[in-house]
Amino acid sequence: MNQAVHHTTLEALGQQLEEHLQLIYPEADHGELAQALIQALGAEGHCVMAKPRLEPWDESDLIVISYGDSIRRQGEAPLHTLKRFFDHYLGQVATGVHILPFFPSSSDDGFAVIDYAQVNPGLGRWQDIQAIAADFRLMADLVINHCSSRSRWFEQFKAGQPPGRDYFISADPEGDYHQVVRPRTSELLKPVQTALGERHVWCTFSHDQVDLNFANPQVLVEMVKIIRLYLNHGVSIFRLDAVAFLWKEPGSNCLNLTQTHEIVRLLRTLVSFYDPRILLITETNIPNRENLAYFGNGNEAHAIYNFSLPPLLLHTLLTGDCNALKLWQMSMPPAQMGTTYLNFIASHDGIGLRPVEGLLDDKQIADIATTMEAFGGRISWRSLGEGGLRPYEINISLYDAMQGTLDGPDPYQQERFLCAHAIMLALEGLPAIYLHSLLATHNDNARVENTGNNRSINRHCWDADALEALLQDAASHHHQVFVRLTQLVQMRQRQPAFHPSATQFVLHLGEELFGLWRQSRNRDQSVFAVANVTREPQPLRLSSLNLIGTDAWRDLLSGEEYSDLHGEIELAPYQVVWLANRAGE
């Protein structure tokens, strides 16, 4: 790109940014602020010559989610240990790695960031991050809503010193905040002694996580500087943590406000100019309709977390009834070109229950919670505006969550667990699997007792040597699940019908069988993915699938071929078939 063209392109970027800024900050000097953002990103001297694919993902992609210290070896930096594990065990499986917050932090396992510009020395150095980014697409958290009460900015706030003195929200403790939606039960406002007297600061999540004041445009400029830093160290996917809570407006619920959506659009404009291959993913653990809004008109998030999937899939396998899952999938719009769903069924957090409000009734949600407590899980709560409490999320390892049904434990834990992943891998969208799911990790109750945090139950730290011994032991359920799950992923990765944007239709096969039809975009492969979601054998009549008689059909998972298209398959408890008219390469 020659200098004149680049200058013209920069002018167009400035104009786009000004349009965003007029909606976010009506009183600001939009031209000056747009130039400050361009400078913060380093966009003046940056251009990407290669034209990227319209959709920078395909059926081969899988993101594995992990903390930087999920696997440890004595005398070795955890990030180095993690990289070596990924190279050896997941090099042919994972294309991307989401390393959860790897910054110095004072609480919440990294999400109370003390210093955005440093790697936690207990994990490693920036060189370790860059080494991972050299071999995998690296996803990192932009903890955008709040920072630590021990951060330099908050120390400046307490001292009345710039710039931090203007980076946080001081609120009237006598104000009316009953409409404010929150995911926690602590008090919204935290009293703080400052050089200017007592102030009450806004804390959506905890009193150690103080919300940043995006009404001050300089906070936005600071965040763009942080984005540039992460880009320089190899990050190519940004997870916008808790972004739905970003903007606060007196008299509103302070959730999903217009300014919040416009900030996401502005960040999309900036990173797309810097490099169109960079992705933004919004983390919005909220009801389904509100979550979908973060696609915008294809101009906000490249991908949104499919938050309704984990609790709906859990409900399906606990009850043996897929109707709620099926109705939800039928109502989900296909993602627009250039956007996709991020599908997951377990993460470092719990299984959120807000995303199934309106999809499951109160009794169904209560039944899930009660059963998960019986399986060793914990329940985290949120405050309602009128002063009540409601279950917010279930904290449990996914492997332990699958140990039975509403009737209690049974012998089908491993089959049920693999069935859940097979359903997720067949869905439209980009799959992400939590490392502890790949390893079939149990509940870590000792860690909960040590931290006092329910979420610690699914944040186990493995000793690398002990883990590798288990993965080599054929009698270990860790070995069995890891082998079968990675084989399942690798089969998916070869099928063009499982491209994240390939055609999808939900099949009507009754409440016991959940089924999808996927078709590759060039229409040369069809896959009928059908799962028995019960603990009883179930018949699948092939005639109900309308298979084309001129094609040869084979189950990709078992290798079984089917020539009698009027015949019947008896699906064992939790068995999944992927019936394809041709196998991928």
Taking a C-beta distance cutoff of 8 angstroms, is the pair 273, 173 a contact? no
In this structure, what DSSP letter does residue 333 have? Answer: P
Residue among 269, 270, 294, 267 nearest 282 (CA): 294
Cβ atoms < 10 Å from Cβ of 487: 13
Q: Is 240 labelled as part of a ligand binding site? A: yes
Taking a C-beta distance cutoff of 8 angstroms, is the pair 21, 30 a contact? yes
Distance from C-alpha of 199 to C-alpha of 58, rounded to nearest angstrom: 50
Taking a C-beta distance cutoff of 8 angstroms, is the pair 496, 520 a contact? yes
Taking a C-beta distance cutoff of 8 angstroms, is the pair 547, 528 a contact? yes
Distance from C-alpha of 67 to C-alpha of 158, rounded to nearest angstrom: 32
Distance from C-alpha of 136 to C-alpha of 260, rounded to nearest angstrom: 30
Q: Is 146 labelled as part of a ligand binding site? A: yes
Residue among 333, 267, 255, 331 nearest 299 (CA): 267
Distance from C-alpha of 124 to C-alpha of 76, rounded to nearest angstrom: 9
Q: Is the peptide bond before 163 cis (omega within 30 degrees of 0)?
A: yes
Q: Is 208 labelled as part of a ligand binding site? A: no
Report the amino acid identity of residue 271: V
Q: Is 29 labelled as part of a ligand binding site? A: no
Q: Is 349 labelled as part of a ligand binding site? A: yes
Phi, psi of 482 (to 5 degrees): -60, -45
Cα angle 231, 233, 235; round to 5 = 50
Report the amino acid identity of residue 70: S
Q: Which residues contact 373 (CB under 8 A, 6 or more apart)?
A: 379
Distance from C-alpha of 466 to C-alpha of 479, rounded to nearest angstrom: 12
In the numeric block, the tokens 């992460």 are attached to 230
Taking a C-beta distance cutoff of 8 angstroms, is the pair 20, 266 a contact? yes
Q: Is 241 labelled as part of a ligand binding site? A: yes
Q: Which residues are catalytic, by number? A: 241
Report the amino acid identity of residue 200: H
Q: Which residues are annotated as a binding site for substrate?
A: 108, 146, 239-241, 348-349, 455
Q: Which residues are annotated as a binding site?
A: 108, 146, 239-241, 348-349, 455
